[in-house]
Every structure is written in C-alpha cells, then in structure tokens.
Chains A and B, each alone.
Chain A
Amino acid sequence: MSFLINNTIGADDAYTLGPLQAGPPCCVPEPLIRVENLSLHYGGKPALENVSLDIYKGCITTLIGPSGCGKTSFLSALNRLTDMIPDCHISGNINFANKDIRHPALDVQALRRDIGMIFQKPTPFPMSIRRNIELPLREHGVSKRTELNDIVQQVLQDVGLWDEVNGRLESPAQALSGGQQQRLCIARALALAPKVLLMDEPCSALDPISSGVVEDLIQRLREKYTVVIVTHNLAQAKRIANYAGFFWVKEQAGCLIEFGQCKQIFDSPTHELTAAYVNGIRG
C-alpha cells in the first residue's frame, strides 16, 4: 500500500521536509522525554499503572496495544492535556528536556507549544485555512503580517498542502477533505515549532489513500521532530517507527509490557503477550 501511494501521490518536491526515509533504526538513542513510574487514575479508577519509558529525540516511537489500555491517557499526560479532564490524577515523574513537566510553576502553554498533539479526528477550527494556522501563532505573540505569511506558507509546504490550497487560503478549513484537514492540523501544530508531536491514531479516521499520505508525512517528520504515535494499524507501526511500546490491560489498568526497537518488538518480542499481539493471535 505504502509503495503504491509513494508512486501515485505526493511527488517528493511537493514537500519541504525532505525525502521519505526508510524505517528503523534511525539514531543514537538520546532521551528527550523520560517517564518514570507514571500512574494515572480517573476518579479512583486506574487507567495506567507504573509506566516507565524513554522517548528518544528525533525518532518515531509508536505505542501499540488494544483499546482501553491507556495509550491515549499516556499521550495526554506528556503535554498535560490531562489537566483538562476533571478527576484525573497522575503520579510519577515525567521529564521533558530535563524539566519536570508536572511542576506546579511550569508554564503549561509553553509546554504545549513544545509538545504538540494531533488527534484521531481532524479538528480544524471553523474558520479559514489561513486563520486556523495564524490563530495559535498570534496567541503565542507572532503578529507581524510578513512573518505570519511566511510561516503559513512554510508549514503548508511542509505538509504538502500548499499546492492544493494555495489561492484559497481564505476559504473555510472545514471544506477540505478529511486527509487534508488532518494535514492542516499537523501544519497548525508545526507552525508553533514544537520539539515533539504526539499523535493519537492520526490516520484511523481517514480513507486508505489519505492515510497513506499522512503516513508519508509522519515519516518526513523524523529527525526534525520527535514523534510519538498511537496506532492500531500494526503494519503502519512496523513501517514507520523506530521504537515501539506495547501496552496491555492488567487487572483493569493499562501497563507497558515491552518497549524496545520497533524491529525487535515485531520480529523477536521477549514477552509472550507481545508476540501474541503483533502476530495477530490476541488483541
């Protein structure tokens, strides 16, 4: 599928992020986010128990596992979106670039600027394509017209959307197709120059072709950005990720069963649950 899409859609020169890169392993592991003993409860109900793992800089880390095992909760904890959920309690340590992100005095808005998030359902705001990208930028203090224009063009080129929407930047973003909307959301996140992008099943609401386009885009993000992606598409995980974490539900709480290089997780998992899951026997 990926092969077919690469040949039909998105000639390389439509993107400015650089060429597609073939899968793992990519780099010398250098932890950017360190999670230690993370537990997460919703109103007394445990969702995650004792998760420890490192997110490596410039790599794509995928989180796999069945629904309800806390992958999304884990992701939301990394940029403190869990603050938005009432009754959500977190314990453990999360360090991002050697800073404790759970520190009460931490500037959460700045943290979320550094750690962006893409959701399963594309969430363009009900406004023009241009304003979708400019609104968060203005909130973060970018107000010069020329600067805004440059960033808008740059990020739209980055996600390969520029040629498709150039000339109709003022039209409503919600008139775009699902795949275009999702790429716009990625562009909107990139506009803030984040260091990390969290992606919560970014392709699962899209048709296979759009999904392929977005998947290619994610691969182009490698090295420039650190990507953590939750996916239920194991083939996709295998294709794009450098590292993989396998989550499972144990005693009604999600936990991390195994973490390692993507190739190792898929080809020679050490845990029998992982083996069963990646081979499609369970899950």
Chain B
Amino acid sequence: MSKSDLARVLIWLAAALVSGVFVWLLADILVHGLSRLSWSFLVEAPRNAGRSGGIGSIIISTGLILLVTMVMAGPLSLATAVLLSEFSQHDSVFRCLVRPSLDVLAGVPSIVFGLFGNAFFCIYLGLGFSILSGGLTLACMVLPVLIRTAEEGLMAVPNDYRMAAAALGMSRSAALVHLLLPAATPAMVAGSMLGIGRAIGETAALIFTSGYVDRMPESLFDSGRSLSVHIYDLSMNVAGGDANAYSSALVLIILLLVINSITLRLAKQWLHKSVAV
C-alpha cells in the first residue's frame, strides 16, 4: 500500500467517523422518539412530571424565551456591530473596550451566565424565575456571536461601495441602509442562526433563570420550562421519562431545522427584493 493510498484511507475513515457519529445520533433519536411523536404530543400539556402527556406548554415557553432573546439581542448586536465596523476609528477607546469584552464574554461557560442571570435579572431586578429573566440571560450569552458575525459581515463588504457611495454625495447612514446592511444580510442571518442554535440548546443558563415550571406560561413574568431543560429533567430526574425525552429531543432538532430553513428563505427573498426594486 502506497503512502497516498494510506492517506486516502485515513481521510475516508475520518470522514466516515464524523458522519457516522451524526447518523448514529440522529438514528438513535429517530428510533426512540418517532413512535411517540404525534399532534397531540405537540399540543398537550405534560402530565405525571412529563412521563406522559405532551410538550405543548414547553414549546410555547421555548418560543417565548427565544423571542425575548432575539428581540433584545438582535437590535443591540446590530447597533454595536455597525458602530464597531462603520463609525469607530481603529484605535478608538470604544473599540478597545468592546472587542476584548466580547471575546471574554464569548468564552464564559453558560453556567456562569446562569448564575449571573439569576443574581441580576431574577433577584436584583426582581424579575424572579421567569421567561423574561431566561430570555435576557440568553440574550447576554448570544450577544458576542451575533455582534461578531454582523461585524464580520459588514467588514466583508468591499470598501469600494463606501467610497462610491460617498463620491455620489450619499451620507454614511444612507450607504449603510441601502448598501452595507443588505450586502451584510447573509452573514447576519448566519450569525442569528448560530445564536438561535446556541440559545435553543441551552440548559444550564436557563435552570437558574427561567426555571422548571412546566405549566403553560400566562405572561413573560411566569416561569417556563424550555425544551432542553425538559429533556434534561426527564432524562436525569424523572424515572421512566426517557421515552418522552427522546421525543422532545426529536422535536428540538426538527424545530432547529425549521427555523434554519425559514430564516434562510426569508433572507434570500429579502435580498432578491432589494435587488429587483
């Protein structure tokens, strides 16, 4: 066997291993989770600590937490990214402060965010264990990745556009709105995908902030259990909850795929529109 054959085999092996892990994981969840998956599972409230019944209230809570997260983190990260990439000098104090802070923030373990969220949102701001606290905590957590991707998206827009727009007497904000943001949209969409992915899979940060309660939330100030917390609870704390944990995991993955494809399609349509008009 020649060297290049060996290399080829190794590369194939590595690729097979990686996809194998993914296929195994997916197959495992499908095999165990698909049988219980039904419409009633999706809409019914959990019973008997989640062993039976559905995950209706859990899905609503998850959706509300994500909503709070993106509503808070979206505009904040966009504004910060615009300021960082378009309106600040390379050596400005603002940049020197924000950049390293973001890097540190990105590396902080989620359990620490949970503790911080608990101390700040739940106790100090008096929001208690609530969907609002959980969403705000997740917003802090996904900020770095959202800002980074939005900033990189903006910086990847060729400088020619900025110069050409300026040479046509367009203001910087006009160039930003009409040229830079549309051009950076795909990157920002990809960034929010990453953010949503991180937020929807988060457990540690939510246990201390949005809590465990599996009732249907009546407002953002109610405690609500997210899907990932539900899966964690069923598989760790509830004997006989494995089957529903699998089905919930399947729902979580499908949800992620659905959000991904919808957002990508929306971004594409929007881009297409901005070209055509």
On A, residues with C-beta under 8 Å from B are 79, 81, 84, 86, 108-113, 116-117, 119, 121, 123, 125-128, 131, 135-136, 139-140, 170, 172, 185, 188-189, 192
List B contacts of A119 (CB < 8 A).
Answer: 160, 163-164, 167
List B contacts of A140 (CB < 8 A).
Answer: 169
For A113, the closest partner residue in chain B by CB is: B169
B276 within 8 A of A: yes
On whether A123 and B275 interact (CB within 8 A), knowing A112-B166, A116-B167, A135-B178, the answer reads: no
On B, residues with C-beta under 8 Å from A are 89-90, 160-171, 174, 178-179, 182-183, 274-277
**Contact: B166 with A84, CB < 8 Å?**
yes
Interchain nearest-CB distance for A173 vs B (Å) = 9
11 further A-B contacts with Cβ under 8 Å, apart from A139-B169, A139-B174, A192-B169, are A108-B169, A116-B168, A125-B161, A125-B164, A125-B165, A126-B182, A139-B171, A140-B169, A185-B164, A189-B167, A189-B168
Q: List 27 A-B contacts (CB under 8 A).
A: A81-B167, A84-B166, A86-B90, A108-B169, A110-B169, A112-B167, A113-B169, A116-B167, A123-B160, A123-B161, A123-B163, A125-B164, A125-B165, A125-B179, A126-B183, A127-B274, A127-B275, A127-B277, A128-B275, A128-B276, A128-B277, A131-B277, A140-B169, A170-B276, A172-B275, A185-B164, A189-B168
CA distance A129 to B43 in the complex (A): 50
Contact of A136 among B90, B161, B170, B276 (CB under 8 A): B170
Q: How many A-B contacts are there with CB distance less than 8 Å?
A: 69
Interchain nearest-CB distance for B277 vs A (Å) = 6
List B contacts of A131 (CB < 8 A).
Answer: 277
CA distance A121 to B161 in the complex (A): 11
Interchain nearest-CB distance for A119 vs B (Å) = 7
CA distance A113 to B171 in the complex (A): 11
List A contacts of B170 (CB < 8 A).
Answer: 109, 135-136, 139
**Contact: B275 with A112, CB < 8 Å?**
no
List A contacts of B167 (CB < 8 A).
Answer: 79, 81, 112, 116-117, 119, 189
Interchain nearest-CB distance for A111 vs B (Å) = 8
SS of B interface (majority): helix
On whether A86 and B89 interact (CB within 8 A), knowing A126-B183, A127-B275, A172-B275, the answer reads: yes
On whether A112 and B168 interact (CB within 8 A), knowing A128-B276, A128-B277, the answer reads: yes
Contact of B171 among A84, A109, A135, A189 (CB under 8 A): A109
**Contact: B169 with A123, CB < 8 Å?**
no
List B contacts of A125 (CB < 8 A).
Answer: 161, 164-165, 178-179
CA distance A126 to B90 in the complex (A): 27
**Contact: A84 with B163, CB < 8 Å?**
yes
Contact of A84 among B162, B183, B276, B277 (CB under 8 A): B162
Interchain nearest-CB distance for A21 vs B (Å) = 26
For B178, the closest partner residue in chain A by CB is: A135
CA distance A108 to B170 in the complex (A): 10
Name the residue in A84, A117, A126 with the highest tally of chain B Cβ atoms < 10 Å from its Cβ: A126
**Contact: B168 with A188, CB < 8 Å?**
yes
